[in-house]
Amino acid sequence: MVRAVFFILVGFALAFMVSTAASQDSDSRQRFRAVNPDSSLAGYRNPTIAGPGSAEGTLEFDSQEKKSQKGILPVRLMAPWYAKKAQINERYGLQFGLNYQLVYAWASAGITPESETQSASGVVNIPISWTPIGRNSRNKGTFTIAFENRHVYGFDVSPQNLAFETGTILPTAVKFGDVPFRVLVMHYYQALFDGRFGFVVGKIAADDYFSHHQLMHPFLNYLGFGSIISPSGNWINPGFGIAAGVAIKQQFFIKAGLLDADGDPFNNSEVFDFGNDFWDGRFTSIVEAGWAPSHDERYAKRAAITAWHTDPHDSFEEGYGVAFAGNWTVGERWVPILLAGASNGKGISVLAERTLTLGLGYNFAHHDVFGSSFNWTRPPGGLRDQYTTELYYRFYLSERMAFTPNIQWVINPSLNTAESSMIYLQIRARFDV
């Protein structure tokens, strides 16, 4: 059913855009800034249908000027490097970056006395984007690739899996796992009809395009799964797929995707692993409808409802559910967030039958950010309801070096009934060039 809706929406989008392209107002001049209204040192702009956690969103954020209040590394030392990046982008349409982040995590208790309660890991991420078509128009054609390696420092369990080792149903350090070097995503995006319709094909991640909010990037903001995205969704690993989006009267949008049922398993040394299910006819299908004031404000102010369906495959039953994600930036500083979802509890990545998250972020000057959230999760399988509060503060010691202390208080950890509550303390460091 959802798959049929996907093809119907794509057909509708094309027909709609052909019939209304001439009448739509396309003059949206206000540039979107992911956090504060700072300048882009390298001139990177990525007006695609992807969210802030994508490779495109990362490139745009990392190119922004960040004038640290602490001032350990003067901004002028990086100016020649970003001037060169801007020159390469202007001449060839080539954007590139390099970022490295590491996390140390500590938990107050384990499920058993033998359980690990500490971990540390690092992630190197290399996003690259090349626009060979329409660089000076809204109908850009862009090829994007991101390489990534996730590695653990001296522990038997990664910070991401420390949650299951100690008792919480929701990972407390999303993406900080143990994954061999690989092509994380690799896809081509084409915008059409003055940028109001676009499609992407290749190795893509579902959460890059659906059910996102402004502070969801785990390398930059929240670390806990329940604060990042609805745990009731089947947010599969990147795999082969196609997604498309259309803007209606500029404020309303519809997106749909057809992806590999599971995606890259992340457990082998294959650099190019696009998943094993798409060409066998087993899919995860996603449809999203939402509203944002304009495309330039698509991260800062938005609300969207998402429906998903995963075909039965291997040992997994048919899964389906709905999710809501919304945030609204107030006065460029306050960012209230609402996430909610419901599912039948089936799917490789589904961690909740019902869930609700209330969050609030505050953007300080110079890209410092404070975030807080409260999540309620009802897991599948009759496990007890879990409640999680998360607090973090990201501050810049220099223009390209950020640190983030993070604390999560878990009440009634679903996998550790011996504990009434648990504390997770984490510190994240990030460097980008």
Res 161 pLDDT > 70: yes
User: What confidence score (pLDDT) does residue 155 get?
Assistant: 95
Tokens of 2: 């959802």
Residue with tokens 């992807």: 50
Smallest Cα–Cα separation from 195: which of 92, 295, 67, 65?
295
**Structural element, H or E, at residue 377:** strand 369-378
pLDDT 10s digits, 391-424: 999 998 888 899 999 999 999 999 999 999 999 9
The structure's pTM equals 0.88
User: What confidence score (pLDDT) does residue 229 get?
Assistant: 97
Res 29 pLDDT > 50: no
For residue 298, name the pLDDT band (cuts at 50, 70, 90). Answer: confident
User: Is 80 exposed, middle or buried (CB count within 10 Å of its CB: 0-12, 13-18, 19+)?
Assistant: exposed
Domain boundaries, the chain: 2-15+35-432
Indicate the CATH number for domain 2-15+35-432: 2.40.160.180
Please state the separation of Cα 46 from the chain's center in Å: 15
* Alpha carbons 426 and 423: distance in angstroms, whole number: 10
Please state the separation of Cα 382 from the chain's center in Å: 29
Res 26 pLDDT > 70: no
pLDDT 10s digits, 377-393: 999 999 999 999 999 99
User: What confidence score (pLDDT) does residue 6 get?
Assistant: 44
Q: Is the dihedral of CA 104, 182, 349, 359 positive or negative?
A: positive
* Alpha carbons 55 and 208: distance in angstroms, whole number: 8
For residue 75, name the pLDDT band (cuts at 50, 70, 90). Answer: low
Most distant CA pair in the chain: distance in Å? 68
Q: Which residues contact 29 (CB under 8 A, 6 or more apart)?
A: none
pLDDT 10s digits, 214-263: 999 999 999 999 999 999 999 999 999 999 999 998 789 999 999 999 99
Q: Work out the mean pLDDT of the chain and round it to a whole number.
A: 88
